[in-house]
Amino acid sequence: MNGPKHKLCTKLSSTYLRKWWITIAIASVLIVGGVLVACQFSVLINAIVDRMVALRPGAKTFGWWAKPPVEPHISLYIYNVTNADDFLSNGSKAIVDEVGPYVYSESWEKVNIVENDNGTLSYNLRKIYSFREDLSVGPEDDVVIVPNIPMLSATSQSKHAARFLRLAMASIMDILKIKPFVQVSVGQLLWGYEDPLLKLAKDVVPKEQKLPYEEFGLLYGKNGTSSDRVTVNTGVDDIEKYGIIDQYNGRTHLPHWTSDECNRLNGTDGSIFPPHIDHDRVLHVYDKDLCRLMPLVFEKEVMTSNEVPGYRFTPPEWVFADVESHPENMCFCPAGQPSCSPNGLFNVSLCQYDSPIMLSFPHFYLGDESLRTQVEGISPPEKEKHQFFMDVQPKMGTTLRVRARVQINLAVSQVFDIKQVANFPDIIFPILWFEEGIDSLPNAVTDLMRFAEQVPPKVRVALIVGLFALGVALLLLSTFCLIRNSHRQSTLHLEGSNYLATAQVDMNKKQNKDTQPARY
């Protein structure tokens, strides 16, 4: 044989074929390495992701968690009552006009962070709201007419009290000139205004029963650092607990509901979740104002504008269902069947100082049609506008996009002994709905996510192909050269045998010739 192949085999004969088993061993190691990469590479990558996302002080991800590099917005839509007098005097159906959005940008930061010995971190959350008139339909000074929540809460709570107490309440309201509807600015409705009932309660209610605020506002006391102390798992010791609440104000469970399952607090704040999420995972989010864990189930796969894949999770349809439709919700009825909410509503009065506040999705999305038609002016719900959802990056468990949409309603009870509300029927009266969320993450965050999502699979394929190809090539080449060398050795052995046989014959002939007697 001539040419490069002959030279290569000659080289192999002089180097490898004397130790052919080394070549085969190396080839076998490469092939086994390819198999291991095929089977275990994902495990290695997951371990790297786990270490990268775990909340370690000083790490980049810790900084993003402590002070998220995003600017969330909250958009509020208020149901302005346009026929309050006719509603009270003539029994007409209330007519509302949805006005909004009134938009606020938010700044989030976790402060007073303390690292605990049990793999947890404790902190207080600081939220700063800034009004964005450029994104709003008008200024905060816009005036709206809405139900008088402090008054109607008090009258509804008095429905089952002694009659003389209701009559006394009516007299007090007469003196203070309190009416069932108030005309306030948007800013006052959200951030607080002086209410005569609250002012009176401050002076006459026993200290242990006093409310922790002196003004009424739907977002009163929320613009600043919260006094609530939150403790979450870092994920350093157990990645499956990453970001999950361990304690909230020292409690591991809520005190409100009738079972430990419904009182659970082991969800996240919604910004992060344990990584490696699949379609079957049920995510849980806890927010104090929701008064419970909010379950989220997979809906579909999505792609962000900067090509980061995500999973969309939404509340299941049964989350605010009545107990007839979903008996498991019975534990959210603290006083038994009579206290259960209608389909599409969730009673949070136990978290709101017994005020009859009911939560729903905007426009009573997923609720009974009868709730929406109790008043005029609310259009039918639309999934695209009124659905609550979170888009989550499954590999790292980071939230990509959020639309937390919730509506606040007041459950008003008719009380005949209080003349100011004697004509106010039993009704679920909508107050406002809001949409809180983020549209996207900074490039520094999404670049890391895209790298974690796209690069490892390509590296895995390249390693598998490279290791298999090199291992198989070495194995075939060494086997070929080994067989070839063995054939050459057999040929040489045969030639040597023939030569020896011929030599032996010649020698025998010579010996025979020498032993024959000479002839004369």
Report the Cα–Cα distance between both ends of the chain, in Å, rounded.
59
Whether 196 shows a pLDDT value over 60: the answer reads yes
Average pLDDT for residues 104-111, to the nearest whole number? 95
Place of tokens 């969320």: 437
What is the distance of C-alpha 519 from the center of its chain? 118
Weakest mean pLDDT among 72-76, 164-168, 194-198: 164-168
Going by their DSSP bridges, the two strands 398-412 and 357-360 should be labelled as antiparallel
Whether 213 shows a pLDDT value over 50: the answer reads yes
Place of tokens 């008139």: 133
Confidence of residue 206 (pLDDT cuts 50, 70, 90): low
Whether 225 shows a pLDDT value over 70: the answer reads yes
Weakest mean pLDDT among 234-238, 296-300, 442-446, 505-509: 505-509
Whether 265 shows a pLDDT value over 70: the answer reads yes
43, 79 contact by CB (below 8 A): no
The pTM of the full predicted model, rounded to 2 decimals, is 0.82
Phi-psi region of 221 (alpha: psi -120 to 50; beta: other; left: phi over 0): left
Residue 8 or 103, more confident: 103
Confidence of residue 48 (pLDDT cuts 50, 70, 90): confident
Average pLDDT for residues 419-435, to the nearest whole number? 90
Neighbours of 137 (CB within 10 A): 13
Place of tokens 């983020």: 438
Weakest mean pLDDT among 23-27, 151-155, 187-191, 352-356: 23-27
Q: What is the pLDDT of residue 492?
A: 45
Confidence of residue 116 (pLDDT cuts 50, 70, 90): very high
Calpha distance 310→279 (Å, rounded): 11
359, 342 contact by CB (below 8 A): no
Q: What is the pLDDT of residue 373?
A: 93
Report in angstroms the alpha-carbon separations of 141 from 185, 190, 269: 5, 11, 32
Burial of residue 313, with CB atoms counted within 10 A of its CB: 0-12 exposed, 13-18 middle, 19 or more buried: buried
Calpha distance 159→152 (Å, rounded): 11
232, 268 contact by CB (below 8 A): yes
Average pLDDT for residues 60-81, to the nearest whole number? 93
Quick one: which H or E segment has residue 499? helix 443-515
Confidence of residue 386 (pLDDT cuts 50, 70, 90): very high
DSSP 368-428: -HHHHTTSBSPPPP-HHHH--EEEEETTTTEEEEEEEEEEEEEEE---TTSGGGTT--SEE
Query: What's the token pair of residue 467?
Result: 């290791």
Calpha distance 90→312 (Å, rounded): 47
Query: What's the token pair of residue 503?
Result: 């030599």
Identity of residue 153: S
Calpha distance 303→308 (Å, rounded): 6
- Return all residues near 386 (Cβ < 8 A) that are at least 6 apart: 361, 362, 363, 365, 405, 433
Q: What is the pLDDT of residue 7?
A: 52
Calpha distance 317→235 (Å, rounded): 31
Average pLDDT for residues 103-128, to the nearest whole number? 95
Average pLDDT for residues 179-206, to the nearest whole number? 84
Residue 212 or 428, more confident: 428
Chain segment 462-496, per-residue pLDDT in tens? 766 776 677 677 677 767 766 766 655 555 454 55
Give me the percent of the chain exceeding a pLDDT of 90: 45
SS3 348: coil
Residue 109 or 155, more confident: 109
Confidence of residue 1 (pLDDT cuts 50, 70, 90): very low
What is the distance of C-alpha 335 from the center of its chain? 32
142, 97 contact by CB (below 8 A): no
Q: What is the pLDDT of residue 33?
A: 66
Residue 289 is classified by DSSP as G
> How confident is the prediction for the chain on average, in pLDDT?
83
